[in-house]
């Protein structure tokens, strides 16, 4: 039996300490410079996040410990078809950028329950959705992310599970409560850089060591566990590899494919629209973009595939410092743009321009 040394070296400990210091600094320092004294400043980061920060926050909100621990483990057991969950997101995020975000910005809401109240009236639907989201988050999303993250910390610094959960909660709570969404967005950005750099590095090293993708496929199909090995309390451990392990689209026959292509294409899209387009965290992050404007939101969509900056045909009439703007038949009131740019010079009275700082009348 090969014995693996799991003890931490000085450089391992130093890397972990530096990581926590960087995360705390990235969360607290930018928030101290932001306007946290208002609802918009605390919950929407003052609508000051640019498209890079927003794109990274969207990525980090979706990809986390549950993916690195849970999805990676599922892929090792069942094959690469689980990648369909995130490949599906490519198309759903395009729907988000083109259809949902303009509605959120135009309505001026902070949360999804608030939008439903504004759209349909009454408080019952707002209260119902708020309670439903809290239950779902606590019992499914937050608990699974905490468990997966705690496992990662447990294996990294060799502590038991519950102290690992406590450490994770403590670090997250400190910078979130102090800095609000500004802290969350900046830490998400740092996490995105770390995850991408680490994942790409690990992928390259792994493929080099194993001899490339083709050799990995060959060895994976031969990775049959010994009949003399017994694993207790594992109901779905890796057994004999599936013949379709390396297939993204699997048979629609439920007796053959565990992830049928019909469900992964059509059924998953329904859930993905909720997850990426109407989920509470998604709503808040998308509304935090610079200026709360259509321009910033459409620029945010540039972090998704195939969505360029959105151009509008405008008719503008000036009434003092306020401009009445007709955007593709929809009427708005536009005020001054950001500090370094006046609305007059930006709009040039008429023409095709990128809309900034648009507020619904």
CATH of the domain at 242: 1.20.1730.10
Q: Both 47 and 97 in a single domain?
A: yes
Q: Both 100 and 223 in a single domain?
A: yes
Q: Could you tell me if residue 3 is inside a domain?
A: no
- Rounded CA-CA distance 135/288 in Å is 25
Q: Both 59 and 110 in a single domain?
A: yes
Name the domain count of the chain. 2
Q: Both 319 and 209 in a single domain?
A: no
Q: Could you tell me if residue 43 is inside a domain?
A: yes
Q: Both 225 and 137 in a single domain?
A: yes
Q: What is the pLDDT of residue 154?
A: 80
Q: Could you tell me if residue 1 is inside a domain?
A: no
Query: Which tens digits make up the pLDDT trace of 303-328?
Result: 323 223 333 334 444 444 455 555 54
Q: What is the mean pLDDT of residues 216-223?
A: 84
Average pLDDT, rounded, for the chain: 69
Q: Both 293 and 344 in a single domain?
A: no
Contact 268, 85 (CB under 8 A): yes
Q: Which of 256, 282, 303 delimits the end of a domain?
A: 303
- Rounded CA-CA distance 56/42 in Å is 19
Q: Both 259 and 336 in a single domain?
A: no
Instruction: Categorize the per-residue pLDDT at 345 as very low, low, confident or very high, splitting at 50, 70 and 90.
Output: very low
Q: Could you tell me if residue 5 is inside a domain?
A: no
Q: Which residue has the higher pLDDT, 337 or 133?
A: 133
Instruction: Categorize the per-residue pLDDT at 296 as very low, low, confident or very high, splitting at 50, 70 and 90.
Output: very low
Query: Which tens digits make up the pLDDT trace of 4-61?
Result: 556 677 887 888 888 888 887 877 776 666 555 554 555 554 455 667 877 787 787 7
Q: What is the pLDDT of residue 107?
A: 75
The 3-class SS string of 298-311 reads: HHHHHHCCCCCCCC
Q: Which of 284, 303, 322 delimits the end of a domain?
A: 303
Partners of residue 317 on adjacent β-strands: 324
Q: Which of 255, 275, 303 delimits the end of a domain?
A: 303
pTM above 0.75, yes or no: no
Q: Which phi and psi angles does 8 have, rounded to 5°?
A: -95, 135
Residues recorded for the chain: 361
Residue 339 has pLDDT above 50, yes or no: no
Partners of residue 47 on adjacent β-strands: none
Q: Both 219 and 238 in a single domain?
A: yes
Q: Which residue has the higher pLDDT, 318 or 144?
A: 144
Instruction: Categorize the per-residue pLDDT at 205 as very low, low, confident or very high, splitting at 50, 70 and 90.
Output: very high
Q: Which phi and psi angles does 269 have, rounded to 5°?
A: -60, -35
Query: Which tens digits make up the pLDDT trace of 74-116?
Result: 888 888 888 888 888 888 888 887 888 777 777 777 678 888 8
Q: What is the pLDDT of residue 321?
A: 47
Conformational region of residue 306, where left means phi above 0, alpha means psi within -120 to 50, and beta covers everything else: left
Residue 322 parent element (H or E)? strand 322-327
Residue 344: domain span: 312-360
Q: What is the pLDDT of residue 201?
A: 93
Q: Which residue has the higher pLDDT, 230 or 74?
A: 74
Query: Which tens digits make up the pLDDT trace of 156-189?
Result: 777 888 888 888 888 777 767 766 677 777 888 8
Q: What is the mean pLDDT of residues 198-226?
A: 86
Q: What is the pLDDT of residue 204?
A: 92
Q: What is the pLDDT of residue 103?
A: 79
Q: Could you tell me if residue 122 is inside a domain?
A: yes
Residue 71 has pLDDT above 90, yes or no: no
Residue 302 has pLDDT above 60, yes or no: no
Q: Both 249 and 354 in a single domain?
A: no
For the ranges 55-59, 93-97, 191-195, 249-253, the lowest mean pLDDT is seen at 55-59
- Rounded CA-CA distance 181/49 in Å is 10
Q: What is the mean pLDDT of residues 329-355?
A: 41
- Rounded CA-CA distance 327/212 in Å is 53
Q: What is the pLDDT of residue 130?
A: 84
pLDDT-above-70 percentage for the chain? 63
């Amino acid at each position: 039996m090969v014995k693996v040394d799991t003890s931490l070296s000085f450089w391992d400990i130093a890397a972990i300490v530096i990581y926590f210091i960087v995360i705390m600094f990235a969360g607290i320092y930018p928030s101290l410079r932001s306007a946290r004294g208002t609802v918009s400043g605390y919950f929407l980061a003052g609508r000051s996040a640019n498209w890079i920060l927003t794109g990274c926050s969207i990525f980090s909100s979706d990809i986390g410990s549950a993916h690195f621990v849970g999805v990676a483990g599922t892929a090792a057991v069942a094959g690469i078809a689980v990648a369909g969950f995130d490949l599906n997101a490519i198309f759903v995020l395009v729907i988000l950028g083109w259809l949902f975000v303009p509605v959120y910005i135009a309505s001026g809401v902070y949360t999804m329950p608030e939008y439903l109240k504004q759209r349909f009236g009454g408080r019952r639907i707002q209260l119902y959705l708020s309670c439903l989201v809290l239950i779902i988050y606590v019992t499914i999303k937050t608990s699974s992310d905490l468990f997966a993250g705690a496992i990662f910390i447990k294996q990294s610094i060799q502590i038991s599970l519950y102290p690992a959960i406590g450490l994770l909660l403590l670090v997250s709570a400190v910078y979130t409560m102090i800095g609000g969404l500004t802290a969350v967005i900046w830490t998400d950005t740092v996490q995105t850089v770390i995850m991408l750099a680490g994942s790409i590095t690990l992928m390259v090293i792994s493929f080099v060591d194993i001899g490339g993708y083709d050799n990995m496929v060959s060895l994976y199909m031969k990775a049959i566990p010994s009949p003399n090995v017994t694993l207790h309390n594992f109901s779905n451990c890796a057994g004999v590899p599936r013949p379709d392990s390396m297939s993204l689209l699997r048979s629609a026959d439920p007796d053959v494919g565990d992830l049928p292509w019909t469900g992964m294409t059509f059924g998953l899209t329904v859930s993905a629209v909720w997850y990426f387009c109407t989920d509470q965290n998604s709503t808040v992050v998308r509304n935090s973009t610079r200026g709360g404007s259509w321009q910033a939101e459409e620029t945010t969509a540039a972090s998704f595939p195939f969505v360029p900056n959105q151009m509008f045909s405008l008719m503008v009439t000036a009434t003092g410092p306020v401009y009445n703007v007709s955007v593709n038949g929809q009427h708005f009131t536009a005020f001054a743009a950001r500090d370094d740019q006046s609305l007059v010079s930006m709009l040039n009275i008429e023409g095709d321009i990128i809309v900034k700082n648009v507020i619904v009348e």
